Structure formats: C-alpha cells, structure tokens
Amino acid sequence: MKKTIFLSALFISGFAFISRDKDNDPGEKNKQLAAKPIIIYTTALGTNFRLSTTDTLTFKDFGQPLETQPCIFVDPTKSFQTFMGIGGALTDASAETFAKLPKEKQQEFLQAYYHPTKGIGYTLARTNIHSCDFSSGSYTYVADGDKSLSSFSVDHDKQYRIPFIKQAIAAAGGKLTLFASPWSPPAWMKDNNTMLQGGKLKKEYYQTWANYYTRFIKAYEKEGIPVWGLTIQNEPMAKQTWESCIFTAEEERDFLKKYLGPTLKKDGLGNKKIIVWDHNRDLIYQRSSTLLDDPEAAKYAWGIGYHWYEDWSGADQVFENLKRVAERYPDKNLLFTEGCNGPFNMDSVNNWDLGERYGKSMINDFNNGTVGWTDWNVLLDEQGGPNHVKNFCFAPIHANTKSGELIYTNAYYYIGHFSKFIRPGAKRIISSASRSPLLTTAFKNSDGKTVVVVMNTASKEMPFHLWVAGKAAQTKALPHSIMTFVF
C-alpha cells in the first residue's frame, strides 16, 4: 500500500512539473501581461473623441488596492456565455432611406456599420416579415383569403429591402446572421380583420400562418439571403396602432409546439433558430417559464428575445429579470431583439443620453447572460421615418434625404465600443467596478485578446486602475464617456 501511495505522489508531482510551462505558469503569465500594451479607445462628451485611440498603457505590479483607489477588476479565468454578435434591423424604412442617398453616401453608410476595421463591424441583423410600422404602408405577401398561399410572393421587397440586405451582407464580408420577425398575420387571418390594433390569429389559420414563415424563409433564400432564424411574433402582448397581434404565453406555446416547430422541421428548415417572446424584460420570466417548462415546446426554442421598452410605465429597466431566466434555463439563449430612442426630434440628434442609454443597456444585458444584441432601424430619414403611423424614432445614423448628409448620433459610437472589438465566438469574463458611476463588462476574443468596456455615467472625471491578477494600469474616465480597453 505504501508503495502505491509513493508512486501516485510521484506521478502527481511529475504531472505538476510537466504542466508548469509558459502558458500555465502564473508567474510567466504575469510577465506576459506586463509586456503587452493596453490600447484605449474613447468616446466622450465635450470632446472630439469618437471611438478615438486615446492612450496606450502597460500593466505594473500593484497588489492590494486601497479603498481610496477606484478599480475595474478583471478576471479572465472565469468565462460565461459565448458572444454571437451585434447588429441592427434592416427594415423597409432603412432600405427606402438608403435608396435615396447618393452612391458615395451609400458606400460610406455600409462601411460605417459593416466593415470590421473601418466601421463598427456589425455581424447580426433583423428584418420584418411583410410590413411593420417602419414601412411606408401595410402590405402582405399573399392575396386576401388565399389559405393555400399559392399567391405568395416577396416581389414587394425586391424594390428596396432585398437589394439593401444583399449590400449589407456583402459589406459584412459575405456573412450576416439574419433573423426575421412578423408584426401581424394578414388581416383576413385575424379576429379583428385588420393588421393593426392587436387582435388575434384565428385558430383555423394557425397552420396557414405557420406555412407562411417557411414560404418567407425559402423565398428570401432563393433571393440569396440566408435566414438564420425567426421570432414568433413581435411584441405579442402589445395592442398597437400599427401592425400587431396578441398571443398569450399559452397560445404562443401551443402555436410553437403544434404548428410552427413541426412545420419548419417537415419543410426541411429544422435548423432555423426559433426565438420566443420578443417583447420587454418585464414579463420575460413568466413568459419563458410557460413556454420552456413544456418539453414539447422547449425542444423547438433556441432562445428568448426581448426589448427594452418596459420603462413605458415610468419605472426603471429591469435587467435582473434576464439573470433569473438565465439561471432557470441555462441551455437557452438570451437575445436582445429591439431597442430605440423616441419620439424623434431633429433638435435632439446630438443629445448625449441617446448613446448612454445604449451603453447602460448593453453592459447590463451582457452581464446578465445575453449572447447577442440587435438595435432597431439601422438608418432613418430626417423625420425619424418613414413610418406609416407616424411612430417616428431615433436611429444611430440618420440621413437628410434632401441634402444627402449622414448624421451620426453618439449612439452609433457607443454601440461601436462593443461591436467593433468584441467578436463572434468571444466569451464573457468577469469585470467588476469599485465605484457605482463606472459600468463595465468584459470579453475574451477567440484570438486571445481581452476587451474591457468601461462607461462613466458621472458628470465628473473618474480616475481608476484597470486591475488584473495583481497588476494594474492607471487611467481615468472623462465625464460622460465610454472607453474600450484591448490587450
């Protein structure tokens, strides 16, 4: 017995010795960390900094910080969800506005969003299945009453939207993860006989409506636009003056497990990702539990989509609800599917809080388990449209269609502090602030680079140390700024 113990100890000791190479030795890692530069990119109120390279730092031995020394603590040894991308919606409104721009401005726009180094590197996109509020009018892809869908055609979209999406895909290097969402079934399928004002899908049209999704996917893919996934219904608990349709959680569950899921599978589209809910964070736990506690529904659901408009009630956004869902359903994905600022006012396009809302949401959403983040319209005109019910809002970039000018709001730059540096396949790691005005999240890219985003919500400068494994670099966050550290 003693001999066996001795040999085991010898083996363990030898293994420890063998594994202490340059990649695993903590001392060696600290030497490597100290030798690598930290590149800082900054966007700040009252300056010309817009995703600007503002400093290069190096780590130095630091050890235990004092309480009087604010820090951002980063721990790359613990990882969480895998990042899939950031992007925005390619709507009719965006496509129509894009078509009105001069060719050189169209190219500037495409590069600004989709080029990985000259732009902010969007890799994710959403589009609408027939019309939504950000269309010039209501329309569908079939003739009224055509239950067989024999008249189905996406010819309407060939004028603006399909060419626009194809150019965005090309600008992104030939690949863009695209998902689609319906705002309402055709009026004749609904109990209120209109695409607007809520209403419900009639039970006798559940199968017809499920078939409609597959027709859309196949039609778009025939046009050379791959569809990665879809949401079942945009904002299924909202009666709107525009295209809308009400589904209770039970109705959405039953539609998914009895109609949509099986239909996609039967039509050879079982690989398409289905996203449930697609509404605000307020009801997300109840909605998720009703759908995902049913094994027959859950097997078809890739994840849960959500928006940020729960503050319509006058209360704050409820980021913690995302964490509850991630804790309860760790095998499902959280995807931010829509958010925008509004109502639109051209006099407010330079307001700093437009971008700060994005920064606050993105940091909290990622820290609570979100894998991808999709803004609403990528481009709108000088009125915050077109929109056929005057529901005008802000986009990160606006176009003055009369002058051809592109207007970049600071929301574009705030989003870029994430999308330009955090790439698909990255893993979220721990980043923790010792002062509440500093918001932070961090990821490690598959190429080994660490990306730390720090947002200063205060009206005063905030000095701090970026601290990793007993080493730190001293820096400061300008008032109302966002910074990205890459090392």
| Partner residues linked to 477 by β-bridges | 462
With CA atoms as reference, report the closest residue to 487 among 438, 452, 439. Answer: 452
Provide the 3-class DSSP secondary structure of residue 434: coil
Distance between CA atoms of residues 394 and 358, nearest Å: 12
Considering 243, 252, 310, 338, which one is annotated as catalytic?
A: 338
Residue 320 annotated as catalytic: no
Distance between CA atoms of residues 427 and 141, nearest Å: 40
| 3-state SS record for 76-108 | EEEEEEECCEEEEECCHHHHHHHHCCCHHHHHH
Question: What separation in angstroms does the CA of 404 have from each of 106, 394, 435?
Answer: 10, 18, 44
Residue 296 annotated as catalytic: no
Question: Which letter does DSSP use for residue 408 in this model?
Answer: E
Residue found by looking up tokens 């140390």 in the block: 465
Distance between CA atoms of residues 424 and 438, nearest Å: 25
Extended beta strands in 198-332, E state:
229-231, 273-280, 301-307
Considering 96, 235, 310, 356, which one is annotated as catalytic?
A: 235
Distance between CA atoms of residues 53 and 10, nearest Å: 52
Give the count of alpha carbons within 13 A of 423, CB side only.
14
Provide the 3-class DSSP secondary structure of residue 470: coil
Distance between CA atoms of residues 89 and 100, nearest Å: 18
CB 121 within 8 A of CB 410: no
Phi-psi region of 358 (alpha: psi -120 to 50; beta: other; left: phi over 0): alpha
Cite the active site residues.
235, 338
